[in-house]
Structures are given as structure tokens and as C-alpha cells.
């Protein structure tokens, strides 16, 4: 078994940060559906703006809102306006084709990569 990339939201813009939350990343449900991410799923978040990398879990945000909110301690590392990549992985013994999506500056779906 290998841990392989299954989902990616590429070039998302962080819209909010909530330090007083217990932890996670809130993602627009529409983007979650397009990328195949689930609520509670562990994801790797990479900040293209400052180089920070962290693991957290997904919380569903309002569909169509464009919300990408860093919650809890992650809000110290990744700030509103930062460009990020959100990646989900899967253990598999077979090659899989990941669902990679590109979004614009307002976190609206542009196309599959």
C-alpha cells in the first residue's frame, strides 16, 4: 500500500482565519464536492505565500460561498489573502487518478487539472 494524492484544490485564497476555533480548515462544500474531499478528512495544506505546511481536517462551508477559513492554531501560520494548496491522500495498492481542481482568486471553480 502507498499513500497517494487523491484530491487537490490548487491556488485557493484564504478568505478568513478563526483562532478561537478548535482546529481545522473550512472549505466551500461546492469545492469539496468537485475535489472529492469529505468532512473530517485529513488534508495537507501548503501555503504558497509563506511556505508553511500543516495537516488538519476538513469542515464543510456554505456551498458556493468561496470560503476557505483556517481555524485554530493553523490561523497563526496561514492568514487571509494567502494562496494555498489543499491536498487529500488515500492509501491504495493501485494507481489512482487524482481529482485536481484549479480555482480563481475568489475560490470559484475554473477547471480540472
Reported as a single tens digit per residue, the pLDDT across 75-106 is: 999 999 999 999 999 999 999 999 999 999 99
pLDDT score at 64: 97
The parent domain of residue 25 ranges over 2-112
As for how many domains the chain has, the answer is 1
DSSP secondary structure of 72-91:
TTHHHHS-TT-EEEEEEEEE
pLDDT score at 57: 97
Grid cell locating 16: 478568513
Tens-digit pLDDT profile for residues 60-80:
999 999 999 999 999 999 999
CATH code where residue 25 lies: 2.40.40.20
The single residue of 7, 21, 24, 60 carrying the catalytic annotation is: 24
The single residue of 7, 21, 57, 92 carrying the catalytic annotation is: 57
Q: Is 57 a catalytic residue?
A: yes
pTM: 0.96
Upper half-sphere CA count for residue 37 (Cβ side, 13 Å): 31
pLDDT score at 22: 80
pLDDT score at 80: 98
Amino acid at each position: 500500500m502507498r499513500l497517494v494524492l487523491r484530491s487537490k484544490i490548487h491556488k485557493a485564497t484564504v478568505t478568513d482565519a478563526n483562532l478561537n476555533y478548535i482546529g481545522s480548515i473550512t472549505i466551500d462544500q461546492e469545492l469539496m464536492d468537485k475535489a472529492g474531499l469529505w468532512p473530517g478528512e485529513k488534508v495537507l495544506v501548503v501555503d504558497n505565500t509563506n511556505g508553511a505546511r500543516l495537516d488538519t481536517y476538513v469542515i464543510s462551508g456554505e456551498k458556493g460561498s468561496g470560503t476557505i477559513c483556517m481555524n485554530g492554531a493553523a490561523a497563526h501560520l496561514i492568514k487571509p489573502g494567502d494562496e494555498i494548496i489543499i491536498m487529500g491522500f488515500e492509501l491504495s495498492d493501485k494507481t489512482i487518478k487524482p481529482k485536481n481542481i484549479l480555482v480563481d482568486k475568489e475560490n470559484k471553480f475554473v477547471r480540472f487539472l
